[in-house]
Amino acid sequence: MKGTVFSVALNHRSQLDAWDQAFRSAPYQTPPKTPVWFIKPRNTHLNNGGSIPFPAGETVQSGATLAVVIGSTARKVAADKVADYVAGYALANDVSLPETSFYRPAIKAKCRDGFCPLGEIAPLASTGNLDIITEINGVEQDRWSTADLVRSVPELIAAISDFITLQPGDAVLIGTPHQRVAIQPGDEVTVRAAGLPTLTNRVTQAGE
């Protein structure tokens, strides 16, 4: 991706359900009312076929998701006009260590080298009920639907563009479920969804 990659947390109903009690206690006090997002910096970006470095001694999780690629400058865009600002869609893998908090930016968990594989861009007729599939070594390990998002793709882009300006080439990762797939060195991780080019990356021990 040529632009900034934004990743959205807590946009799947299972995540909000899992964190609901914690969000009603200190330091949060209340569940979030606007999108919770962070940036996947350039050191995390990885092409299809690249190797995901596995940091020794850590638990690493695959976070198969969809990337919305912005085609024209988007600021305060209404949800029903979002399609006019989208260049296309790509599969992505928001690789992460397990979250222990959403109160401070989880740089250690989210921003390691190679922790954001991104596939090729393609058009999609609809994002409302898309199954996103994770395969490990050719065996399906997870499947989730965009129908279970808190904010649909148009609603999410509209909400984000309400307080930041999205530029051409930027990409927004729309979120992941609470339960994700653990990966290990030697695994081949494949993300699939109907209508989009497949994203495949192998996991290697960091430093190899």
How does DSSP assign 45-61, residue by residue? EEETT-EEEE-TT--EE
pLDDT on residue 103 = 45
What digits encode the pLDDT tens for the residues 174-193? Answer: 999 888 899 999 999 999 99
Q: Which residues of the chain have a pLDDT value below 70?
A: 1, 16-20, 22-31, 100-107, 207-208
Distance, first Cα to last Cα, the chain: 25
pLDDT on residue 65 = 98
pLDDT on residue 56 = 92
Q: Are 130 and 146 in contact (CB under 8 A)?
A: yes
Question: What is the distance between the alpha carbons of residues 86 and 89, in angstroms, rounded to a whole number?
Answer: 8
Question: What is the distance between the alpha carbons of residues 36 and 175, in angstroms, rounded to a whole number?
Answer: 10
Residue 93's nearest CA partner among 124, 115, 110, 71 is 115
pLDDT on residue 101 = 55
Question: What is the distance between the alpha carbons of residues 142 and 67, in angstroms, rounded to a whole number?
Answer: 18
Coil/strand/helix, residue 108: helix
pLDDT on residue 23 = 62
Threshold 0.85, pTM exceeds: yes
